[in-house]
Amino acid sequence: MDFPKLKSIIEGLLFLSGEEGLSVKQIAEIVDQRVELVTDAIEEMIGEFARQGRGVQIMKLAGVVQLGTLPEHAAYFEKLAYSPARTSLSQAALETLAIVAYRQPITRVEIEEIRGVKSERAIHTLVNKDLIVEVGRAEAIGRPILYGTTKSFLDYFGLASIKDLPEPGLFEDSENLEEETQLLFNKLDMQQPGTGNTDVQSAFEFEEETVNPEQDIVLDPEDDLPGSSS
């Protein structure tokens, strides 16, 4: 194996290992090379990363090698960590999240009754992003899943508890759903330290919506058509 290829493989291994990192011995076993050769490759990579001004560095901590960010960039990483903008949500997902926040615990069918469209994909998106979670089963036929918000949801918006949500009682029906959703996330955005009065569309990236001219309604890509089977 040539040296450039070895360094490339090591970089990929360190990326995949994340915060856990890998020992030099582990890397050597994976690439089937001598420990001394791997050590030389890592030392050369440390120097190259520094000379090239890369956004990450190779660190050796507590017997393991791992990729890490640069301390001088910490302020930018903090902005990413505490800003809702890092979560890309469609209008469908935002509406669903708002409904769950105010009406939890709530089933998918109840969400769909409020929104007027199927919401299975929006729910799936929110579960994957750790914003909502299964909190139990309803005492009804089929024992449908009940959903509620997570600690990550509270952390994203700087809320101590769900009681800190503004204007309880919203999202009882779908008549003003889009307007109420925007109002909610505007207020949550303003509660973020240092964000100021920012419109919700600047705090979230919205996915493109498609208009059905025959029905004169907006169909979101994350939803099935109204009344379609789940």
In the structure, what pLDDT confidence band is assigned to residue 167 with cuts at 50, 70 and 90?
low
Ranking 57-66, 88-97, 109-118 by mean pLDDT, the lowest is 88-97
Q: For the whole model, what pTM was predicted?
A: 0.46
Residues 6 or more apart whose CB falls under 8 angstroms from that of 81 comprise none
Q: Given the structure tokens 């919205």, which residue do they identify?
A: 206
Segment of 8-12, 199-203, 209-213 carrying the highest mean pLDDT:
8-12
Q: Is the pLDDT of residue 10 over 90?
A: yes
Provide the pLDDT for residue 105.
93
Quote the percentage of the chain above a pLDDT of 70. Answer: 69
Cα 129 from Cα 152, distance rounded (Å): 9
Q: Is the pLDDT of residue 171 over 70?
A: no
Burial call 161-178: b when 16+ CB within 10 Å, e when fewer: eeeebeeeebbeebeebe
Confidence category of residue 35, pLDDT binned at 50, 70, 90: very high
Is residue 157 very low, low, confident or very high in pLDDT (cuts 50, 70, 90)? confident
Mean pLDDT to the nearest integer, 38-47: 96
Residue 225 has a pLDDT of 45
pLDDT digits (tens, 9 = 90+) for 70-104: 999 988 887 766 555 445 678 888 889 988 988 89
Q: Does residue 197 surpass a pLDDT of 50? A: no
What is the CB neighbour count within 10 angstroms for residue 195?
A: 17
If we measure between CA atoms, which residue out of 54, 24, 57 comes closest to residue 41? Answer: 24
pLDDT of residue 161: 85
In a 3-state reduction of DSSP, which class is residue 149?
Answer: strand
Question: Among all chains, which residue has been given the structure tokens 């169909």?
Answer: 219
